[in-house]
Amino acid sequence: MTVSVTPLNAPNIRRLETNHQQLLSLSLQLEQAMEEIGTDPKYVDLQRLSNSIFLLLREAHDLEERVLFPGFDHRAGSCFSVMIIEHLKAEHRYDRLAGEELRLTLTALSEGRCALPLDTIARMLRSFLECLRRHVSTEKLMMEALLAAEAEEREIFA
């Protein structure tokens, strides 16, 4: 798959920041909905939130791979950036697969056709959200390093 490169500019930076904030907000909402699972027999919130987070995750990954990664690679001044970017792309693939598995599981739960125990689903959700938060944190640090290097017209690892 060829990814088109989009310039790192104020609107795209804002989109990245907004996307990250929305992912973190949805993560909290998913956790709260999971905690209230005993009081919501239809699991409507879980299904809606898992669908939302899956779509937002796909949008975030696309934007990061078009805006953040090429800019980081351009300013890195080191082959180390290639390894970082490839690692983050691998995490994107893992996040998408885990997000899809979670979405399907929560859909099955909401439709009353899931055989997994609720505590297993809760652990699955917490694990996914922990990875997601770690990933967002890493990319925020990456963006800050890139913006500082851009502002100072230097390489990131200089």
Per-residue pLDDT tens for 32-79?
887 777 555 566 677 788 888 888 999 999 999 998 888 888 888 778
Pick the CATH number of 10-151 from 3.40.50.970, 2.40.40.20, 3.90.1150.10, 1.20.120.520: 1.20.120.520
For residues 116-121, average pLDDT: 89
Reported as a single tens digit per residue, the pLDDT across 71-85 is 888 888 778 888 889
pTM: 0.80
Domain spans, the chain: 10-151
Tell me the three-class secondary structure of the chain, residue by residue: CCCCCCCCCHHHHHHHHHHHHHHHHHHHHHHHHHHCHHHCCCCHHHHHHHHHHHHHHHHHHHHHHHHHHHHHHHHHCCCHHHHHHHHHHHHHHHHHHHHHHHHHHHHHHHCCCCCCCHHHHHHHHHHHHHHHHHHHHHHHHHHHHHHHHHHCCCCCCC
